[in-house]
Structure 1
Amino acid sequence: MSSMKTADEVSPTRRRLSRDERLRQLLDVAWRVVRNEGTEALTLGYLAEQAGVTKPVVYDHFNTRPGLLAVLYREFDTRQTALMDKALRDSEPTLANRARVIASSYIECVLQQGREIPGVSAALAGSPELEKIKREYETAFIGKCRTALAPFAGAGTIAAAGLWAMLGAAEALSYAAATGDISADAAEEELYQTILSMVDRNADQ
């Protein structure tokens, strides 16, 4: 009897990934590409190459490059929302606590994702379709902040201008922390003070 083994006996059959598992793999590779090479390097063809799959597999999941970027941003936003919601539920209902939760949750989530999220966020502004998606998530975040902070404002609400200014500060500070220009603690404290100041201005109205 021959002692030679067949190819199937020598190497076990590779398990076929489910659709959800494949999506998770592609997203992990996409984040890695953005982190290591920048958003401009992330094309569907390059993602297929880096993930070791054929182009049709990637196109089946995302259809277009904007579609891929939208999924990445949606994943980041979902993580950020869950982190902030939990922190708000667990915090005491005071202005200081609510402001601290918003500041720490925003900064922490950007830092957890790493330096790649600023590139994805910037890319979202590159087309009307992606800008619309980004604006929808920003509007939802501002609404959540208004609900959390309004009880501490004199008029019972927070002016939209102040909330958009706060969001701009949050983005700038978190991205500066992600790139190492400032520390995470400094970013959080500055955002915290910005939120307190915004509410105080509304309390005087």
Structure 2
Amino acid sequence: MIETALEIIREHGADALTLGYLAERAGVSKPIAYEHFETRSGLLIALYRRIDEQQVRALLDSLATARHQLDEVARLIARAYMTCHSASGPEGHAISAALRGDPQMEAVQQDLIDGCIGIFANALAPFSKLSRDALQQRCVGIVGAAEALSRDMTRGKLDEMAAINNLTALIVSGIDPQ
């Protein structure tokens, strides 16, 4: 059902995604869709989590193969972030926008952002003179910049390579390298 839901968003936008329409397109009964997701917000949150899981997996896989050099680690972080947003297309931002103001989604988004910040800080700590707390705060800004760049990229205002290069430069200059 998740793949079908993403197809609906891709074809018709997030506003067209309802549990009833999902059930119809997926060839299941409405009670199955409601049992699985409970609410439309629950469905959208499941979609958002799936996109985030793909992003985290790609990032961790990239970092596992990285040489111990700041430029390479920064570029891997940037590439994984932008590649995930390219792969999910505008659907990721559409899902996020559809859930704007939903208290449950705000908690989920904060949890996922905190996880991303932690991954960035762990990967960048060996290269920074900053204290752990200061590096965490810088990574908050890096994630904000990454989100803004990915939004411009998915809207066609910036190509993927430019987004990766800009985020890489922000990471390298922003962590107060040793």
- The TM-score bracket by the shorter chain reads over 0.9
1:156 shift after superposition: 4.7
1:72 shift after superposition: 0.5
In the alignment, is residue 197 of structure 1 matched against residue 153 of structure 2? Answer: no
- Is the 8 Å Cα contact of residues 124 and 134 (structure 1) preserved in structure 2? no
**Structure 1 portions without partners, runs of 5+:** 1-25
Partner of 1:12: none
**Of 157, 166, 173, which residue of structure 1 is paired with 2:149?**
173
TM-score, normalised to structure 2, is 0.93
1:122 shift after superposition: 2.2
Percent identity (aligned): 38
1:159 shift after superposition: 3.3
1:174 shift after superposition: 1.2
Higher relative contact order (CA 8 A, sep 6+): 2
Q: Matches of 2:121 and 2:90 in 1, distance apart?
A: 28
Please give the residue correspondences for 1:1-205 in structure 2 after superposition, counting only pairs within 5 Å.
Answer: 26-157=1-132, 158-200=134-176, 203=177
- Is the 8 Å Cα contact of residues 142 and 163 (structure 1) preserved in structure 2? yes
- Is the 8 Å Cα contact of residues 35 and 116 (structure 1) preserved in structure 2? yes
Q: Matches of 2:157 and 2:25 in 1, distance apart?
A: 30
1:111 shift after superposition: 0.6
Q: Matches of 2:112 and 2:87 in 1, distance apart?
A: 19
Q: Matches of 1:103 and 1:163 in 2, distance apart?
A: 12
Name which one, 1 or 2, has greater alpha-carbon Rg.
1
1:150 shift after superposition: 1.2
**Structure 2 portions without partners, runs of 5+:** none
Q: Matches of 1:101 and 1:51 in 2, distance apart?
A: 36
Q: Matches of 2:126 and 2:67 in 1, distance apart?
A: 13
1:56 shift after superposition: 0.9
Number of aligned pairs? 177
Q: Matches of 1:124 and 1:107 in 2, distance apart?
A: 22
TM-score, normalised to structure 1, is 0.81
Q: Matches of 1:114 and 1:72 in 2, distance apart?
A: 13
